Amino acid sequence: MTFGYAYHDHLPADFADRSLREDVVAGLTADRKWLPPKWFYDKVGSELFEDITRLPEYYPTRTERAILQGYAAQIVELAGTRMLVELGSGSSEKTRLLLDPMIGPDEAHRGVGVDRPGYVALDVSEDALRVACAGLVAQYPRLRVEAIRADFTHQLDVLPAGPGRTVAFLGGTIGNFDPDERASFLTALRERLRPGDHFLLGADLVKSADVLVPAYDDAAGVTAAFNLNVLDVLNHRLCAEFDRADFDHIAVWDPANEWIEMRLRARRDVTVRINDLDLSIRLDRGEDIRTEISAKFRRDRLTAELAAAGFTGRGWWTDERGWFSLSLWGLR
């Protein structure tokens, strides 16, 4: 079947199941229990996250979008972008704000032989890639679209090369890495880039806990439902026996690490059977499962981390309140 875009799958058929099993065993048998945030995003979780992005307390999505609306054309011109590669592309919704200035009003009238601008979406979800790329093909007929199913945490070698390449990592997702993971990711990415390439990074900035905590613990309880849904994911995919009523959603600002932690806290002593793993875990009353960290950054700290990985700054943009940043990086 022809979809109007190229599709490449670099993950084994059992990748998601195997990764989930490995993460659950490692995280839920640790002294301080944890789960990675990628398991939030089943169908229900993805829909809940879309609801979160529209909440009055949740500023990151709309703030990053506003920065892109104001500066996308400047970013594209500064980077000379002709190929946009997006890591963790998801719905590719904000991507259109970068594609519009890449394509420009005259692109549709160029000849067939003229090199067309390109967009490469990389994500672990085939469904997300298929939906997003089909929409882009319909909206931008002259755009070369490529979908790559891969895990950017260890498969950056699959990124296609090309002139005017900009790799984008948006949404503040960089904050889900702890410092060691960030350093490894940035170093690995730098090793895969070539002279003339650029890296566009969306990063949330440090601000008052009075703003940060409600963004992850909203009054309507949508984020709580999103967090608790990961237990339903484990119940469904691993025949686990979690009872959501045994856990509370907690969001905590850690000022020492300058990150938000989302946790699930046991309301009582509880033992949970995970049947597909032949595993039982015990949590004492008040014990937490950490389900996400979301680091917030200061410009000097972010610059130091990028410089240590071999990048040099090309541009820095924020909203008028200084709540979120987009930054462009070249190679040292």
**Region for residue 88 given its phi and psi (left: phi exceeds 0; alpha: psi -120 to 50; beta: otherwise):** left
For residues 160 and 123, the answer to whether their CB atoms sit within 8 Å is no
Mean pLDDT by 10-residue block, N- to C-terminus, for the chain (332 residues)?
82 94 98 97 93 97 98 98 95 92 69 74 92 94 95 95 96 97 98 97 98 98 98 98 98 98 98 98 98 98 98 98 98 94
Euclidean distance between CA atoms 160 and 147, whole angstroms: 11
User: Cα-flanking dihedrals φ and ψ of residue 38, to 5°?
Assistant: -65, -20
95-103 and 126-139 helices cross at what angle (nearest 10)? 30
Which pLDDT score, from 0 to 100, does residue 106 have? 58
Distance spanning both ends of the chain, measured CA to CA: 43
Q: What angle do CA 75, 81, 85 make, to 5 degrees?
A: 100
Q: Find all residues with CB under 8 Å of 150, minimum gap 6, and list them.
A: 8, 10, 11, 122, 124, 158
Structural domains of the chain sorted by starting position, each given as residue range(s) with its CATH number in brackets: 1-245+298-332 (3.40.50.150)
For residues 314 and 78, the answer to whether their CB atoms sit within 8 Å is yes
Listed in sequence order, the DSSP H helices in the chain are 15-28, 43-53, 60-79, 95-103, 126-139, 179-192, 209-215, 222-238, 299-309
Which pLDDT score, from 0 to 100, does residue 110 have? 52
Which pLDDT score, from 0 to 100, does residue 113 have? 46
Q: Return the structure tokens found at 28.
A: 């839920």
Which pLDDT score, from 0 to 100, does residue 1 have? 45
Whole-structure pTM over 0.75, yes or no?
Answer: yes
